[in-house]
Amino acid sequence: MEVIILGSGSPLPHPERAGPSTLVRAAGSDFLFDCGRGVLMRAAAVPLLPVSLKMVLLTHLHSDHVSDFNDVVTTRWVMSPAPNPLAVIGPVGTRKFVEATLRAMESDIGYRLAHHQDLNTRPELITEEVERGVVFENGPVKIIAAPTDHRPVHPSLGFRIEAEGKSIVIAGDTIPCEGLDRLCRDADVLIQTVIRRSLVEAVPSQRFKDILDYHSTTVDAGRTAARCRVKTLLLNHCVPTPAPGTEEDWMAEAANHFTGKILISYDLLKITL
């Protein structure tokens, strides 16, 4: 199993970081978790085309996690030589989001259907809203969802993907909670959105400080990883973006609470299990 961080960024635009999205390659299938800014540019570097995606899984509907969903849908549709329905799994609200996305693309869909004689079907999406439990199982691959706590963004999900005796948890944006702990138990890799409290508190903007109450800090992430006996903790979607040379400081805050392996994310970071 392989995990590739397609986008390590946050809502704040950054020249070297795409928005949050993570690719897991398991037993020959590609699973895309979230579709942040620039997801297909980074996927092209893997290389991966959206045509071959097994499914898209959304942790929540915050804009930074879904901003390029339309690009995944349109590019897959246009590049597929035959109808190629895309499975989408997400929290309650996903169906409404998917339908709204298709409505927003209505003109483009019309242009392309009129222009290409061999394109006769509209983009097809098979959307499933989930809350918890096994959401996908096929051969050696199993994906489990659990509710996380990113309130007032509600509902939100974390996912655990298991294959070949290994496990990866996509925590997404959440504070520590029981659902997250359940997913993390004895996981090989935990990919956790983190903020650094001291840096966020130093920004003279209440709107920015508002993010403190619905994200895990580096300390929280270390504690979650230790409590759940995770092997590797990957600090991801770091807010604010770590200044070059400060990565060790971020990891050190987590390491005060967790003795396992700690990594800090960058675009196209790959972990092979």
Q: Which residues are catalytic?
A: 64
State which of residues 30, 34, 64, 267 lies at the interface with Zn ion (CB under 5 A). Answer: 64
CB neighbour burial string for 215-230, b if at least 16 within 10 angstroms, e if fewer: bbbbbbbbbbbeebeb
What x/- string results for residues 171 through 190 when contact with Zn ion is judged by CB under 5 A? --x-----------------
Q: Which is nearer to Zn ion, 30 or 64 (CB)?
A: 64
Site for Zn ion in 1-30 (CB under 5 A): none
In whole angstroms, how close is the CB of 31 to Zn ion at the nearest point? 19
Candidate ranges 39-47, 63-71, 132-140, 159-167; the one touching Zn ion (CB under 5 A): 63-71
State how far the alpha carbon of 111 is from the alpha carbons of 78, 94, 125, 139, 172, in Å. Answer: 12, 26, 19, 40, 36
Closest CB to Zn ion among residues 64, 149: 64
β-pairing, 153-163 vs 141-150, is antiparallel
- How far apart, in whole angstroms, are the C-alpha atoms of residue 168 and residue 159? 8
Over the Cα atoms of the chain, what is R_g? 18
C-beta separation of 33 from 65 below 8 A: no
Q: SS3 for 231?
A: coil
What are the backbone dihedrals phi and psi of residue 10, each rounded to the nearest 5 degrees, phi first? -135, -170
Stretch that binds Zn ion, among 42-50, 64-72, 101-109, 161-169 (CB under 5 A): 64-72
Under rule CB under 5 A, residue 149 binds Zn ion: no
Query: To the nearest whole angstrom, how small is the minimum distance from the Cβ of residue 36 to Zn ion?
Result: 8
Q: Is 62 in the site for Zn ion (CB under 5 A)?
A: yes
Of 80-88, 169-177, 239-247, 259-267, the segment contacting Zn ion by CB under 5 A is 169-177
Phi, psi (degrees; rounded to nearest 5) at 45 = -80, -15
Total interface residues for Zn ion by CB under 5 A: 3
Q: Pick the piece of the chain touching Zn ion (CB under 5 A) from 54-62, 108-116, 141-149, 201-209.
A: 54-62
User: Is residue 68 within the footprint of Zn ion (CB under 5 A)?
Assistant: no
Q: Contact at 8 Å (CB) between 102 and 110? A: no
The distance of closest approach from Cβ of residue 119 to Zn ion in the complex, given in angstroms and rounded to an integer, is 34
Please report how close the Cβ of residue 237 comes to Zn ion at its closest, in angstroms: 6
Residue 64 CB, shortest distance to Zn ion, in Å, is 5
Extract the runs of DSSP E, i.e. beta strands, from 9-152.
21-26, 29-33, 53-57, 86-90, 125-129, 133-138, 141-150
Residues that bind Zn ion (CB under 5 A): 62, 64, 173
